[in-house]
Structure 1
Amino acid sequence: MYRYSEFDEAFVRSRVAQFREQVARRIDGSLTEDEFKPLRLMNGLYLQLHAYMLRVAIPYGTLNGAQMRALADIADRWDKGYGHFTTRQNIQFNWPKLQDVPDMLDALADVGMHAIQTSGNTIRNVTADHFAGAAADEVMDPRPVAELIRQWSTDHPEFQFLPRKFKVAVTGSPADRAVTAAHDIGLRLVLRDGAVGAQVLVGGGLGRTPMIGKVLKDFVPLADLLPYLEAVVAVYNLIGRRDNKYKARIKITVHETGIEEIRAQVEAEFAARKPLFSGADQAALAAIAAQFAPPEFDAAGPGDDAEWRHADPVFRAFVDTNVTAHRHPDYAILTVSLKAHGATPGDCSSAQMRVLAGLAERYAHDELRVSHEQNIVLPHLPRRHLKAVHEALLEAGLATANVGLASDIIACPGMDYCALATARSIPVAQGIALRLEELRVEREVGPLKIKISGCINACGHHHVGHIGILGLDRAGVETYQITLGGDGGPDAAIGERAGPGFAYDEIVPAVERILTAYLALREGPGETFLDAVRRVGLGPFRSALYGEGAGEAQADAA
Structure 2
Amino acid sequence: MYQYTDFDRQFIRLRAEQYRDQLQRRLSGQLSEDEFRPLRLQNGWYVQRHAPMLRVAVPYGEISAPQLRVLARIARDYDQPSHEVFQGAVAAQNKLGDVQLRDGQGIGSKLVTGYGHFTTRQNVQFNWIPLDKSADVMDLLATVDMHGIQTSGNCIRNITTDALAGVAVDEVADPRPWGEVMRQWSTLHPEFAFLPRKFKIAITGAREDRAATPWHDVGLHLIKNSAGELGFKVLVGGGMGRTPTIATVIREFLPAEQILNYLEAVVRVYNRWGRRDNKYKARIKILVKAEGQRYVDEVEAEYRQILDHDGAPHTVSAAELQRVSAGFVPPALKLDSAAAEAVTPAEQAEYQRWLQRNVHPHQNPALRAVTLSFKRPGQSPGDATAAQLDAVAELAERFSAGEARVTHQQNLLLPWVAAAQLPALWREAKRLGLAKANIGLLSDMIACPGGDFCDLANARSLPLAEAVTVRYQDLDELEDLGEIDLHISGCINSCGHHHSGHIGILGVDKDGKEWYQVTVGGSDGKDLSGAAVPGKVIGPSFSSHEVPDVIEALLNTYRELRATGADGRQELFIDTLRRVGVEPFKQAGQQARHPNADTEETATA
Relative to the length of structure 1, the TM-score reads: 0.95
Q: Shift of residue 355 of structure 1?
A: 1.1
The answer (yes or no) to whether the contact 2:369–2:416 under 8 Å persists in 1 is yes
Report sequence identity in percent.
49
Query: Contact (CA 8 Å) 2:258, 2:315: kept in 1 or not?
Result: no
Look up the match of 2:223.
190
2:447 is equivalent to residue 411 of structure 1: yes
Q: Tell me, what secondary structure is at the counterpart of 1:441?
A: helix
Counterpart contact for 1:305–1:383, Cα < 8 Å: no
Work out which of the residue numbers 149, 152, 167 in structure 1 matches 2:182: 149
Q: Which amino acid aligns with 2:570?
A: G
- Offset from partner CA, 1:333-367 (integer Å, 9 cap, x none): 10111101342000001111111111111111111
Q: Which residue of 2 aligns with 1:521?
A: 561
TM-aligned CA deviation for residue 296 of structure 1? 3.3
1:291 aligns with 2:327: yes
Offset from partner CA, 1:455-493 (integer Å, 9 cap, x none) = 010000000000000011111121111111100023111
**Cα offset, 1:440, TM superposition:** 5.3
Q: Distance in 2 between matches of 1:544 and 1:422?
A: 25
Q: What secondary structure, in the 3-state scheme, does the structure 2 residue paired with 1:374 have?
A: coil
| C-alpha RMSD of the superposition | 1.7
Query: In the alignment, what sits opposite 1:556?
Result: none
1:380 aligns with one of 411, 416, 419: 416
Q: Which residue of structure 1 lines up, in the alignment, with residue 19 of structure 2?
A: 19
> What is the DSSP-based 3-state SS (H/G/I as helix, E as strand, rest coil) of the residue aligned with 2:471?
helix
After superposing on structure 2, the runs of 4+ consecutive aligned residues of structure 1 that deviate more than 2 Å are 274-286, 295-312
Which residues in structure 2 correspond to 1:380-529 (within 5 Å)? Answer: 380-437=416-473, 441-489=477-525, 490-524=530-564, 525-529=569-573
Which residue identity does 1:131 align to in structure 2?
L
Work out the CA distance in 1 between the residues paired with 2:177 and 2:495.
Answer: 26
Partner of 2:603: none
SS at match of 1:291: helix
Q: Which residue of 2 aligns with 1:47?
A: 47
Q: Is the 8 A contact 1:46 1:52 kept in 2?
A: yes
- The equivalent residue for 1:333 is 369
Letter in 2 for 1:536: V
1:96 corresponds to which of 129, 132, 136: 129
Distance in 1 between residues matched to 2:130 and 2:194, nearest whole Å: 27
1:358 counterpart residue number:
394
- Say yes or no: does 1:226 pair with 2:264: no
Deviations 1:509-542 (A, max 9, x none): 1101111111111002431111111111111111
Q: Identify the match of residue 287 of structure 2 among 243, 250, 253.
A: 253
Report the Cα offset of residue 396 of structure 1: 1.4
1:214 counterpart = 2:248: yes
AA paired with 2:129? P
Q: Which moved more, 1:463-472 or 1:380-389?
A: 380-389
Give the aligned length.
Answer: 547
User: In structure 2, do the counterparts of structure 1 residues 301 and 241 end up closer, same or farther at CA, with 3 Å as the change threshold?
Assistant: farther
How do 1:534-553 residues align onto structure 2 when only pairs under 5 Å count? 534-547=578-591
CA gap of 1:344–1:461, structure 2 versus 1, over 3 A, is same
Asked if 2 retains the 8 angstrom alpha-carbon contact of 1:463 and 1:483, the reply is yes
TM-superposition CA deviations, 1:128-174 (whole Å, max 9, x none): 00110111111111011111111110000000000000000000112
Contact persistence 1:132–1:143 (CA under 8 A)? yes
Match of 2:316 among 269, 277, 281: 281
Query: 2:159 matched to 1:126?
Result: yes
Q: State the match for 1:140 in structure 2.
A: 173
- 1:271 deviates by 1.5
The letter of the residue matching 1:372 is: H
Q: Distance in 2 between matches of 1:213 and 1:302?
A: 50
Cα contact 1:301–1:330 (8 A) shared by 2: no
Work out whether residues 441 and 485 of structure 2, in 8 Å CA contact, stay in contact via their aligned partners in 1.
yes
> Distance between the aligned counterparts of 2:377 and 2:511, measured in 1?
32
1:81 to 114, 119, 125: 114
- SS for the counterpart of 2:472 is helix
User: In the aligned structure 1, how far is the partner of 2:378 from the partner of 2:537?
Assistant: 26
Q: How far apart are 1:332 and its partner, in Å?
A: 1.2
Kept in 2, the 8 Å contact 1:302–1:330? The answer is: no
| Residue 567 (structure 2) pairs with residue 530 (structure 1) | no
Conservation of the 8 A alpha-carbon contact between 2:261 and 2:313: no
The 8 Å contact of residues 453 and 470 in structure 1, kept in 2 or not, is answered as yes
CA contact (8 A) 2:341 2:424 kept: no
* Range with greater deviation from structure 2 (422-431 or 380-389): 380-389
Aligned partner of residue 3 in structure 1, secondary structure? coil
- Return the alpha-carbon distance in structure 1 between the equivalents of residues 397 and 360 of structure 2: 20
Separation in structure 2 between the aligned mates of residue 266 and residue 215 of structure 1, nearest angstrom: 13
Alpha-carbon deviation of 1:98?
A: 1.2
Q: SS where residue 198 of structure 1 aligns?
A: strand
TM-aligned CA distance change 1:523 to 1:310, over 3 Å: farther
Pairing of 1:171-190 with structure 2 (within 5 A): 171-190=204-223
Unaligned stretches of 5+ in structure 2?
80-112, 593-605
How many angstroms apart in 1 are the aligned matches of 2:278 and 2:116?
34
| 1: CA distance, partners of 2:538 / 2:340 | 48
Contact in 2 for aligned 1:453/1:462 (Cα 8 Å): yes
Go from structure 1 to structure 2 and tell me whether the alpha carbon gap of 1:309 and 1:481 turns closer, same or farther (over 3 Å shift). Answer: farther
Judge conservation of contact 1:191–1:197 (CA < 8 Å) in 2.
yes
